[in-house]
Amino acid sequence: MSGSPSEELGRRREELSSQAEAAAERQHGRGKLSARERIDALLDPGSFVELNPFVEHRATALGMDRRRGLGDGVVTGHGTVDGRRICVYSQDFGFMGGSLGEMHADKICRVMDLAVRTGAPLVGFHDSGGARIQEGVASLGGYGEIFRRNVSASGVVPQIAVIAGPTAGGASYSPALMDLTIMVEGIATTFITGPRVIKQVTGEEVSPEALGGAETHATITGTASLKAASEEEAIQAVRALLSYLPSNNLDDPPLYEVLEPASSVEGVIPADPMAAYDIHELIESVVDTGSFLEIQPDFAGNTVVGFARLEGRSIGVVATQPSVMAGTMTIDSSDKVARFVRLCDTFNLPVVTFQDVPGYLPGVDQEHGGIIRHGAKVIYAYAEATVPKVTVILRKSFGGAYIALGSKHLGADLVYALPQAEIAVMGAEGAIEIVYRREVEEEPERRGELIERYREEFSNPYQAAKLGYVDDVIEEREIRPRLIEAMGVLSKKRVSPHPPKRHGNMPV
């Protein structure tokens, strides 16, 4: 060190600035934002406070002592989004491909610890070539430390990942452990083993994008909560997600202005019980206008989940989608619903469920794929959730799906049904073959009459209401007012403590 302490500090800050400019130039050449530009775009102007900017790696193997860089390939710190404090880290692909080494991991761990200690949401920008080979097992150990903190922070503060570049090998697990993951189309990839390894081992040839790009994870694997057309769009999505979530598990979500729905709910549901319709129209006509933010919109389209607001308050919405596979439940939709319900329960968001479900999809593929185990996740999630739970049965509600999707039997606080709702073990068309088998065989022309008789005797909502399984039968126009009323009544909900245990054993 030469010169005064202030001069030395100035020199180091100048070096940091020069390094950031060079990294930004390299990233721009790849068509991407730099690590610092991503943070600046996310946070309120002038609010970022950087942590550990002068950290450097300690490795000397393979000439690492000649590859110095302040910050060691990741920018960490805290700032505000819409005035609310968050913690953030952003990997710098401009330094050694954003590879993770001992000190790189240590910086991320420190900001994760700060997020938990202060009850602040955590946002991570992932853009990394994976473990730093030159640091050997120390880099693997770094991943382990991050994963342990992801798990420890789960359910304490919201964790949001933005994948804005390659995320391979061990690097792929941290985003998967976080609550919500956004992938940027065209530049984001995430996989355990890359195309080269796959070709060597199995002989299969596949591009990085087809193997683990945003489209793949948004539509096939369900790993991506959202995909974004650009980094700017991804950053706006982060800000939107944060607006629905509390800062931590002890806080309530922020309140917003009440915006009445722009369209009427009446007429959305067809009179014909077999006709399809788009559940999005019903959701949009019930929640505050423009407030519905769908999660995993391209995955398991037979169900719809997402955040919304009801009189300015955040809620979680779960709905079956009659226009896709008739709204039947499947392996993928079970996973989608179960994870979302648990997310809502974790962060104090009431769950509103709209049922129009003929049951679980039959088929050998579904059975052999483990529909029993995956379907059990939905039951577990709803039964375990202690937040306010309100269910509206719109039309069909058959079999195990009736039970699993927020029924009274799993602890729903309030259940409403529309007059045309059918609640039964199975649909009338199939049930009469069992209940009225002899009549159908002897007088097949009475089939229609027998279907109507079954509906009157077994499946109309008043049968369930007689037993207290439905709290009231309501008209379509009453859905929003009843939900608002329910949220007010349940806002001070008290929950009996569970029997002492370490944790339950969810059928993962």
Active site residues: 169-170, 400-401
In the chain, % helix, strand, coil (3-state, to 5) comes to 45, 20, 35
Closest by CA to 429, choosing from 459, 389, 406, is 459
Q: Please give the helix or strand (H or E) that residue 394 lies within, else none.
A: strand 389-398
Q: Is 323 exposed, middle or buried (0-12, 13-18, 19+ CB in 10 A)?
A: middle
3-state secondary structure of 237: helix
Closest by CA to 181, choosing from 163, 199, 164, 168, is 163
Separation CA 79–CA 96 (nearest Å): 26
Separation CA 384–CA 387 (nearest Å): 9
Other C-beta atoms within 10 Å of 444: how many? 9
Other C-beta atoms within 10 Å of 299: how many? 21
Other C-beta atoms within 10 Å of 7: how many? 11
Beta bridge partners of 79: 86
Residue 336 near residue 303 (C-beta atoms within 8 A): yes
Separation CA 485–CA 506 (nearest Å): 33
Separation CA 258–CA 235 (nearest Å): 25
Rg over CA atoms, the chain: 26
Residue 239 near residue 81 (C-beta atoms within 8 A): yes
